Amino acid sequence: MKPQINPARIDFVTLKLFCATAQSGSITKGATQCNLALSAASRRISELEETVGITLLERSAKGVTLTHAGHAVMQHALRLFQGFEQFSDELSEYATGIKGHVRLWANMSALTEFLPSSLASFLKAHPEIQVEIEEQLSGDIVKSLLDGIADIGIFAEGTPTAGLDTRVIGKDELVIACSKSHPLATRKKISFDECLDYDIVGLNRGSSLLELTSRSAERLEKQMRLRIQVRSYDAMCQMIGVNLGIGVLPLQACAAQLKAMDLGFIRLTDSWAQRKLILATKANTNPSPATALLSAHLIHESTKQ
């Protein structure tokens, strides 16, 4: 069993001092920035190293440099400061009259097709609520909901949703994108089975689109010839445009890129190409009033489409 670090023995002042020391390369400068006496600063850093059980700073006549473990501690410390700043900002928003804060994570399809007009009407009706939006892959969105990092998630059908309350709020058609010089460029419709004879550009692991196409290939007892994997639809279009392969893309979300890069698209005959968009929240929890309001609004707006 790995030894556990007692969080009660590490405080924000010491972490701030450690980061200041590492960034300045000097315990003296770090102590000055944190308004501490040099002796107190040295003691705090030594106690921090004793607590974690490993050397964090290499000391020399020229100053200090981070060890590998020190780099890890600094990265985690900076994330803690960022999280505390967000925590402080959210509380101050309540104090200054902003009465709600909702963290919404969505995939590119939702951000491009569904959310802009729906969010605009919501924020017009509820100016006191702040909505923080992040674009993420579907798998990461589900994890963020389960971990309590996001309040509402919107992602593509096909992502495992155990532990979530879900509602279908939209649809999207998946198509095959290709360059105008590709052998398939003249086709109007195609089965995914036929596409597996060609190199494919796909999204990185964690994407619901990659999981969907991979499962489809498995059912056909074939393997996708994944030539390259990227993180965004825009990057996929660029790779497709230089003939590195074909790719499965949501038509509505990528219409602008397809046109701008002069790419063709072919409609898929497979039933799974008609994909659903899912709104989800964590199950068995009481959402904040702001979260409940936004969820209800997005569901209502989806019925108008």
Three-state DSSP string of 134-185: EECCHHHHHHHHHCCCCCEEEEECCCCCCCEEEEEEEEEEEEEEEECCCCCC
pTM to 2 decimals? Answer: 0.56
Three-state DSSP state, 188 = coil
Nearest to 110 by CA among 81, 79, 80, 136: 136
CATH number at residue 88: 1.10.10.10
pLDDT tens string 29-58: 999 999 999 999 999 999 999 988 899 999
Q: What is the pLDDT of residue 95?
A: 53
Same domain, yes or no: 174 and 265:
yes
**For residue 96, pLDDT beyond 50:** no
**For residue 68, pLDDT beyond 50:** yes
Residue 210: count of CB within 10 angstroms of its CB: 22
**For residue 271, pLDDT beyond 50:** yes
User: Is residue 305 very low, low, confident or very high in pLDDT (cuts 50, 70, 90)?
Assistant: low
Same domain, yes or no: 63 and 83:
yes
- Contact indicator for 18, 28 with CB cutoff of 8 Å: no
Same domain, yes or no: 32 and 104:
no
Same domain, yes or no: 20 and 163:
no
Nearest to 128 by CA among 102, 98, 107: 98
User: Is residue 107 very low, low, confident or very high in pLDDT (cuts 50, 70, 90)?
Assistant: confident
In a domain, 1, yes or no: no
Domain encompassing residue 76: 7-94
**Cα distances (Å, whole numbers) of residue 141 to 22, 106, 246:** 34, 7, 26
Fill in the DSSP letter of residue 273: G
The chain-wide mean pLDDT, for the chain, equals 89
**For residue 113, pLDDT beyond 60:** yes
Q: What is the pLDDT of residue 140?
A: 87
pLDDT tens string 184-193: 999 999 999 9
